[in-house]
Amino acid sequence: DIQMTQSPSSLSASVGDRVTITCQASQDISNYLNWYQQKPGKAPKLLIYDASNLETGVPSRFSGSGSGTDFTFTISSLQPEDIATYYCQQYDNLPPTFGQGTKLEIK
């Protein structure tokens, strides 16, 4: 299985801050990389697919970039409602695998 490693595992930031999460794949996955947001007690929500495509209805402060093995997820201006755990997920090879998650908290 392809291993996905996110960093950091947790992050504390202030409202209005720019927040960046990275995801590294154990092998080249081209751009087959997605990002999800999971709020406590809720199902995950798709934010970004194919590394940089914003899902319909998702605010433009969310963005993604990268290809190959290194990917970045950015929130340009952190809002209180962005408190959640974020996961990357690859689907270049089956089974699809997720990163371990990055828990984002408000400072």
Partner 1 sequence: EVQLVQSGAEVKKPGESLRISCKGSGYSFTSYWISWVRQMPGKGLEWMGRIDPSDSYTNYSPSFQGHVTISADKSISTAYLQWSSLKASDTAMYYCARHRTTVTTEYYFDYWGQGTLVTVSS
User: Parallel, antiparallel, or unpaired: how do β-strands 10-13 and 102-106 relate?
Assistant: parallel
Query: In the set 34, 51, 71, 82, which binds partner 1 (CB under 8 A)?
Result: 34
If one asks whether residue 97 binds partner 1 (CB under 8 A), the answer comes out as yes
Site for partner 1 contains 99 (CB under 8 A): yes
Asked whether 54 and 45 are in contact (CB, 8 A), the reply is no
| Cβ-based nearer residue to partner 1, 6 or 69 | 6
66 binds partner 1 (CB under 8 A): no
Residue with smaller CB distance to partner 1, 45 or 61: 45
Residues interacting with partner 1, by CB under 8 A? Answer: 1, 34, 36, 38, 43-46, 49, 55, 87, 89, 91, 94-101
